[in-house]
A and B are shown apart, each in its own frame.
Chain A
């Protein structure tokens, strides 16, 4: 064994190693009963993430187009992976920060929560760095298994457990499909390494049924993970049932990692097969946007609404892949970053408004927020306008850049469909803003009244903003606003990450 090679491999994967060590330490710490245990665990997790991000930055390739492949070509460190890892750190750290209060209100404070989140982070990191289908799959499973447990973390709540069960079954199903596609690819090319696949498929006969089948299975498996129509059915149920911070994590970090894989596999290795998947993907993107926007119109639960909204955002993101260009890819990267800011910000507010899991999260939770908490209401409004894509928020620039890429690639019709559907989507964000700013705090008996059993009728108690929550809101709010007003810096990062190629 060549010790230098091994040392290089260990060094390249040191962020993952740090996270796993942190998770193990947190696991041990969780066994030590102490009244401040939650605080220590939070800090331990955050420090772990900080260390890992410092290490990632330190490893980040300079100049950016250098691609470092280790573990015999199974693991890669490039600008693309670095960008995604930073994004995942951001998403996970904000999730951890916003979890504390939620777990306390739900009386579900357990150390395993943080451990599992860190393991999920490690899984997603492996996904974005994997240069081998098997490594990617292992990362995906590590992430998925942790999230299954976290979804059902509120053991005594029926909805949470039900969501976890559904997620396990559907997740296992989709993993199976993915694995099947993966094995077909292996059978056809004799390799699972992305770099080898690229050259092996360059000369492949595109009409071969096996190849089509393999591509379809691989695509379906990944589309399942990002929740694109028609593989979206799990999204609303699981988003609704899961503890709210985990919903936030699901809609941000899990999706980000799955998109990284989708980009790396389909725009990198399988780019030669583009004729096979591009038109189908365009149809899926349109269907995803349409269904997400239209079904969201009739939701009366915040989390379900956000689930459908996230579905429609996935549709918009897929357009970047259809553009197929480098700018399409950087559009996705930028979109995911801005999406992380605005979604987590909104979820943080949902958590702040949350009273009791039994009461559910009816939309009326938002009503009258402007009178009782002007600052929070203003932030919620900015997040919602950003999700709707109204300038000068980041959400607008994200959509704008996807459209730029799309029109650059000549898909003007798709762009027109996309903007019309996002006008539809604006409707339900506006509805929430209407509730925040116009409706009085008492829930109306109108159509928006949800079947809430909890004490939603009472005047809102003052919302206490803990320091971690303030931090989350500060980060997400400034991210949302700054990326809209000074997009140049964010854009430069995303472009740099995507211009460097995909490591093969």
Chain B
């Protein structure tokens, strides 16, 4: 118990700002107000990261209050090495999203910013929750603002995309709820995650619950074949929505595997690992092939996400230190890199109103700063050594070679396909003759846009060149996790 509820503060600061937003007068003030709130939240989250003791695998900054004591539900918060990293990532992408939608969102700004602040609160809450009920409430409530963001401010086909997103995830989440309830009764009527982790469950229970969790998380990740909502949602969502969706929401699924499936259901995880590895390998290759065939930038990046998320699930189920830390780093990387790519697609779309790849060419000559930054992110996405993507993919592939050779082979193939489509995108859009869609008004990155891009670039190279701090941060937590899976499992 810390005397000061810092986690609650980080969680509720955006929500409080959202409650105050109806009182703010004009659109300009609303944007500044939101930005300030999220920057403040980011500062708090950074403080959290710095204050975090990476030597310890225990949950830190814990808070615990009764909520519905009759059912064993509590308001319990705490972070370990994994979640503190994602709290930081969420807070970082939060204010970047505000900047990204500064001029892109012109209608109903107030409602947009309220949704943004609300989803920010909920996402941070999900990473901090140590009570399954609380986790579930936040997890599912997240759908609402995202649904509105896609549905109100999205592209032409937004209604369809928003419905698809909502219903896919809802159906998955509800199965997750059933799984939670089964665990609740099997684990002695408590929703306390730490208490539930300590329980040995019978294998049949584990297997059924694992399947329920798998469907819920596989929709969120998304894993093939439950990925079809993702391209629609990404293509239709406004830039900020895409950034949050790719940057944080997709991580929720992988986080779910890390937080629930592996430590709570170790036997079932080991049992289902071949299936998971096969699905991951399939996602890596299939997602890559789909991306190869796209001519819409957003779709291409969306399918590349499917492929990259496959690396993450692959790493998770290798059950060795390399794979796991690779997966977590890749989760963080993917948040940074794909978030940045969506941001840049949004920036170019604001100028040209076209997402058609063949319509572009030689952008690096027209808008050099934009071109260089985008090139850096593309290279990071294809895991060039020296960028963050390299560290993650390398660790995952190394981990996969340690457990399932052929899956590692598939991952290598996937990485090659990734290089093919990303380099193709790079060549077509940035190099060659100058070609622009009709009616394009080009300008290079302005100060606001540079402010979005620079922190992301910093992380791309920092993690690529010196990933040790993050690895140290994760080590203790992941070692404990590994002990929980392997120690009781195989």
Are any A and B Cβ atoms less than 8 Å apart in their complex?
Answer: yes
Residues of A participating in the B interface, judged by any CB pair closer than 8 Å: 370, 374, 385, 390-392, 396, 400-401, 403-404, 407-408, 412, 415-416, 419-420, 422-423, 426-427, 430, 434, 437-438, 487-488, 491-492, 495
Contact B137 A370 (CB under 8 A): no
User: Could you tell me the dominant secondary structure of chain A's interface residues?
Assistant: helix
B66: nearest chain-A partner, CB-CB: A488
Among candidates A391, A430, A495, residue contacting B147 with C-beta atoms closer than 8 Å: A430
**A226 CA to B121 CA, complexed, in Å:** 40
Contact B141 A403 (CB under 8 A): no
The answer to whether the Cβ of B462 comes within 8 Å of any Cβ in the partner chain is no
User: B118-156: which residues lie under 8 A (CB-CB) from chain A?
Assistant: 133, 136-138, 140-141, 143-144, 147-148, 151-152
Contact A396 B140 (CB under 8 A): yes
A422: nearest chain-B partner, CB-CB: B174
Query: With A391-B141, A416-B178, A419-B175 as given contacts, are A407 and B185 in contact (CB-CB < 8 Å)?
Result: yes
Query: What is the interface size of chain B, counting residues whose CB is below 8 A from a CB of the partner?
Result: 36
Question: A residues within 8 A CB of B138?
Answer: 391
User: B387-441: which residues lie under 8 A (CB-CB) from chain A?
Assistant: none
The answer to whether the Cβ of B10 comes within 8 Å of any Cβ in the partner chain is no
Contact A492 B70 (CB under 8 A): yes
The answer to whether the Cβ of B163 comes within 8 Å of any Cβ in the partner chain is yes
Query: With A370-B111, A423-B170, A423-B171 as given contacts, are A415 and B152 in contact (CB-CB < 8 Å)?
Result: no
Among candidates B111, B137, B163, B182, residue contacting A427 with C-beta atoms closer than 8 Å: B163
Question: B residues within 8 A CB of A437?
Answer: 148, 151-152
User: B54-94: which residues lie under 8 A (CB-CB) from chain A?
Assistant: 66-71
Interface Cβ pair total, 8 Å cutoff = 82
B166: nearest chain-A partner, CB-CB: A430
The answer to whether the Cβ of B223 comes within 8 Å of any Cβ in the partner chain is no
Contact A487 B68 (CB under 8 A): yes
Question: A residues within 8 A CB of B143?
Answer: 390
Contact A426 B170 (CB under 8 A): yes
Contact A396 B137 (CB under 8 A): yes
**A419 CA to B216 CA, complexed, in Å:** 13
**A361 CA to B159 CA, complexed, in Å:** 23
Contact B71 A404 (CB under 8 A): yes
The answer to whether the Cβ of B268 comes within 8 Å of any Cβ in the partner chain is no
A437: nearest chain-B partner, CB-CB: B152
Contact B141 A390 (CB under 8 A): yes
**A185 CA to B159 CA, complexed, in Å:** 55
| Known interface pairs A408-B185, A412-B182, A420-B174; 13 further A-B residue pairs with C-beta atoms within 8 A, sorted by A's residue number | A370-B108, A374-B111, A390-B141, A390-B143, A391-B138, A407-B178, A407-B184, A423-B170, A437-B151, A488-B66, A491-B68, A492-B70, A495-B70
Contact A423 B177 (CB under 8 A): no
Question: B residues within 8 A CB of A392?
Answer: 137, 141
**A403 CA to B177 CA, complexed, in Å:** 9
Contact A400 B147 (CB under 8 A): no
Contact B163 A488 (CB under 8 A): no
Among candidates A407, A423, A434, A438, residue contacting B174 with C-beta atoms closer than 8 Å: A423
Question: A residues within 8 A CB of B70?
Answer: 488, 491-492, 495
Contact A407 B181 (CB under 8 A): yes
Question: B residues within 8 A CB of A385?
Answer: 144
Residues of B participating in the A interface, judged by any CB pair closer than 8 Å: 66-71, 108, 111, 133, 136-138, 140-141, 143-144, 147-148, 151-152, 158-159, 162-163, 166-167, 170-171, 174-175, 177-178, 181-182, 184-185
**A89 CA to B159 CA, complexed, in Å:** 41
**A491 CA to B205 CA, complexed, in Å:** 28
Question: A residues within 8 A CB of B159?
Answer: 434, 438
Contact A403 B178 (CB under 8 A): yes
Question: B residues within 8 A CB of A487?
Answer: 68
Nearest Cβ in chain B — how far from A451, in angstroms?
Answer: 23
Question: B residues within 8 A CB of A408?
Answer: 185
Question: B residues within 8 A CB of A434?
Answer: 151, 159, 162-163
Query: With A412-B178, A415-B178, A438-B159 as given contacts, are A423 and B68 in contact (CB-CB < 8 Å)?
Result: no
Nearest Cβ in chain A — how far from B130, in angstroms?
Answer: 17
Nearest Cβ in chain B — how far from A91, in angstroms?
Answer: 25
Question: B residues within 8 A CB of A404?
Answer: 71, 181, 184
Contact B140 A391 (CB under 8 A): yes
Question: A residues within 8 A CB of B167?
Answer: 423, 426-427, 430
Nearest Cβ in chain B — how far from A407, in angstroms?
Answer: 5
Query: With A430-B166, A437-B152 as given contacts, are A420 and B171 in contact (CB-CB < 8 Å)?
Result: yes
Question: B residues within 8 A CB of A370?
Answer: 108, 111
Nearest Cβ in chain B — how far from A71, in angstroms?
Answer: 35
Most buried by B among A391, A396, A412: A391
A377: nearest chain-B partner, CB-CB: B111
Question: A residues within 8 A CB of B144?
Answer: 385, 390
Q: A-B pairs with the 3 shortest C-beta distances? A: A419-B174, A391-B137, A423-B171
Instruction: List, sorted by A's number, 29 A–B pairs whose CB atoms are closer than 8 Å.
Output: A370-B108, A370-B111, A390-B170, A391-B140, A392-B137, A400-B133, A403-B177, A403-B178, A403-B181, A408-B185, A412-B178, A415-B178, A415-B181, A416-B175, A419-B174, A419-B177, A420-B174, A422-B174, A423-B167, A430-B147, A434-B162, A437-B148, A438-B158, A438-B159, A487-B68, A488-B66, A488-B67, A491-B71, A495-B70
